[in-house]
């Protein structure tokens, strides 16, 4: 169960990275959306760190 949870978090992290890159590369990026995605990614990074230590 632990491994599947970690995999799910890693997949979500990868999706957020993709969304951030996509938004940042638009001709007129939505800075509010970009900030929200980066905030989600940072929170997820913290959650991944905790999951990896358990």
Whole-structure pTM value: 0.87
C-alpha angle 3-9-13 in degrees, rounded to nearest 5:
140
3-state secondary structure 1-54: CHHHHHHHHHHHHHHHHHHHHHHHCCCCCCHHHHHHHHHHHHHHHHHHHHHHHC
pLDDT band for 3, please (50, 70, 90 cuts). confident
Task: Convert the pLDDT of each residue in 22-51 to its tens digit.
Answer: 999 999 999 999 999 999 999 999 999 998
Residue 19, pLDDT > 70, answer yes
Let me know: does 51 contact 6? Beta carbons within 8 Å: yes
Query: Is there a contact between 40 and 12 (Cβ–Cβ < 8 Å)?
Result: no
């Amino acid at each position: 169960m632990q491994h599947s949870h970690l995999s799910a978090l890693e997949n979500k992290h990868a999706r957020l990275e993709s969304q951030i890159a996509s938004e940042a590369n638009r001709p007129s990026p939505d800075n509010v959306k970009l900030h929200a995605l980066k905030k989600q990614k940072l929170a997820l990074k913290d959650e991944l760190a905790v999951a990896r230590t358990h």
